[in-house]
Structure 1
Amino acid sequence: MGCILKGNSGLYSRMTVGAVLLAAGAGSRLGGRPKSLLELGGVPLIMRQLIALSGAGVDEVAVVLGHHADAVEAAVRTFPITLVRNPNPDDGQPSSVRIGLQALSPKLDAVMVALADQPLIDAQDVIDLIGAFKKRGDAAMVVPRVRGEDGETAPGNPVIFDAALRDEWLAGDANLACRKWRQSHPDRVRWFDTDNRRYRIDIDTPEDIERFAATTGHRLAWPASMALAATP
């Protein structure tokens, strides 16, 4: 089921939301293993993301694979999703975003870009972000902005934007997406200010894994098939 948006007429119309889930990284700082397959409570992080998106009513998801594509695909192929591969994942995240955007259907009202290595994002977090998007006014993109214990703020993920912006990106510079775009168009960005630090937690290094355990009390673990697969 999609999301419901109340229009100016007082009538309710359906807002269709698509998502690009990025899972193309090499995991070079984690011994060359796919961080999206790290498990929390025995469930791979990428599967947790798919469950969150589905539970929030996101209509369709394109998962972008690259490095470790076969292993990641094996973990998620039972989900009703579109799987696409970035043939050049080392070109950087914008190239994966572009491939994912191309894979989504054209008839969407909003598009979300999410990361496959965020352990704690759940359906309510996605629902809250969609709710902030509904209240965005004339902005084109909504980005969570998380307050830390020191009072400083920093942007988080996922982000959500108007589908017209997707079309704008696909028609233009391949590298102009998400972070670069919002830096160049601050007037078209609406910040979703929150204390919810789940939007800021992702896993890139062994230190991130240890920090996650220390701050949450939960331990991330590699599946047995990858437990000894690290490279120096």
Structure 2
Amino acid sequence: MGCIMKQGGGLYSRVRVGAILLAAGQGSRMGGVPKALIELQGVPLINRQLIALSGAGVDEVVVVTGYHHDLVEPLVEQFPVRIARNLNPETGQASSVRLGLEALGANFDAVIMALCDQPLINAVDIAQLIAAFKKRKSGEIILPMVDGNRGNPIVIGRIALDQMLESGTNMVCRKFMDQHPEMVELFHSDNEHFTMDVDSLEDLEKFEEKTGWHLQLPNLSDKAKQRLANTEPAYMALQRLVCK
């Protein structure tokens, strides 16, 4: 353990933290629009996540893209992150998680598994989870809990990460936690940032009703808009909803 009187190490040992930001989804419940591109106060949700991770002192970030990679990747090029493109995103989130872990490498004590559809997550929230991981009494995974509901992001320690990679290609974080409850330490909080997400058209309305903030569609090219409209008819419903 570090010592506050020795080399400025603080009360807890330095932990090298990486992050995987999942942005490979099709956005089928969101009218075919990638949730990463939806904007809050003019800032795409994926950029808000990257700003939060950077502000919390995360050492390295891998962004996993897949569906809509041509729309998502240009948004993150301004950030010092690595991009891992899932060439088979239809195989599900487990393949994106594995790809992200492999791209990030093993030189980390803990990895934050972050999602693009949580508009209110900020640097303070991420820092709280990292602090909880450092202070944990047992286990290898920090899972935020708000009013009895699971939240995100989660923090996964090295031992759990290695076991996840050894568990097969279909292993996802929730399944692993359910199978290994002894490795999970709950971080109880009243912070609804951890449980507030926008996964569907209905969630956009609920978010605005609860927060008063309006989420809007990204400023896409006409070609991109037409592609989304042709492949996912619900895109037009989303456009009417957020532009009302």
Instruction: Please tell me the residue identity of whatever aligns with 2:72.
Output: V
In 1: Cα distance, 2:177 partner to 2:185 partner: 10
Q: Indicate whether 1:33 and 2:33 are aligned.
A: yes
User: 2:86 is matched with which residue?
Assistant: 86
In 1: Cα distance, 2:87 partner to 2:30 partner: 21
Of stretches 93-102 and 217-226 in structure 1, the one that deviates more from structure 2 is 217-226
Question: What displacement does 1:108 show?
Answer: 0.8
Question: What displacement does 1:163 show?
Answer: 1.7
User: 1:113 is matched with which residue?
Assistant: 113
Question: What displacement does 1:125 show?
Answer: 0.2
In structure 2, the CA distance between the partners of 1:31 and 1:177, relative to structure 1 (3 Å rule), is closer
In structure 2, the CA distance between the partners of 1:105 and 1:10, relative to structure 1 (3 Å rule), is farther
Of stretches 219-228 and 110-119 in structure 1, the one that deviates more from structure 2 is 219-228
Question: What displacement does 1:138 show?
Answer: 2.3
Question: What displacement does 1:9 show?
Answer: 9.5
Q: What are the ranges of 5 or more consecutive residues in structure 1 without an aligned counterpart? A: 1-5, 148-152
Map 1:198-213; keep pairs closer than 5 Å. Answer: 198-213=193-208
User: 2:44 is matched with which residue?
Assistant: 44
In 2: Cα distance, 1:62 partner to 1:214 partner: 33
User: 1:20 is matched with which residue?
Assistant: 20
Say whether the 8 Å CA contact 2:93–2:172 is kept in structure 1: no
Instruction: Please tell me the residue identity of whatever aligns with 2:39.
Output: E
Whose strand proportion is higher, 1 or 2?
A: 1
Q: Indicate whether 1:174 and 2:172 are aligned.
A: no
Alignment match of 2:153 (pick from 148, 158, 178): 158
Report SS of the residue matched to 2:187: strand
Instruction: Please tell me the residue identity of whatever aligns with 1:197.
Output: E
In 2: Cα distance, 1:43 partner to 1:197 partner: 20
Question: What displacement does 1:131 show?
Answer: 1.0
Question: What displacement does 1:10 show?
Answer: 7.1
Question: What displacement does 1:177 show?
Answer: 3.1
Moved over 4 A (4+): 8-11, 226-229
Question: What displacement does 1:78 show?
Answer: 1.4
User: 1:150 is matched with which residue?
Assistant: none
**The structure with more radius of gyration:** 2
In 1: Cα distance, 2:132 partner to 2:94 partner: 24
Whose helix proportion is higher, 1 or 2?
A: 2
Q: Name the Cα RMSD after superposition.
A: 1.7
In structure 2, the CA distance between the partners of 1:137 and 1:8, relative to structure 1 (3 Å rule), is farther
User: 2:124 is matched with which residue?
Assistant: 124
Q: Indicate whether 1:61 and 2:61 are aligned.
A: yes
Question: What displacement does 1:227 show?
Answer: 6.5
Q: What are the ranges of 5 or more consecutive residues in structure 2 without an aligned counterpart? A: 234-244
Report SS of the residue matched to 1:108: coil
User: Structure 1-normalised TM-score?
Assistant: 0.91
User: 2:188 is matched with which residue?
Assistant: 193
User: 1:222 is matched with which residue?
Assistant: 217
What is the number of residues matched between the two proteins?
A: 222
In 2: Cα distance, 1:143 partner to 1:90 partner: 27
User: Structure 2-normalised TM-score?
Assistant: 0.86
In 1: Cα distance, 2:225 partner to 2:85 partner: 25
Say whether the 8 Å CA contact 2:160–2:183 is kept in structure 1: no
Instruction: Please tell me the residue identity of whatever aligns with 1:221.
Output: Q
Report SS of the residue matched to 1:107: coil
In structure 2, the CA distance between the partners of 1:227 and 1:218, relative to structure 1 (3 Å rule), is farther
In 2: Cα distance, 1:17 partner to 1:10 partner: 24
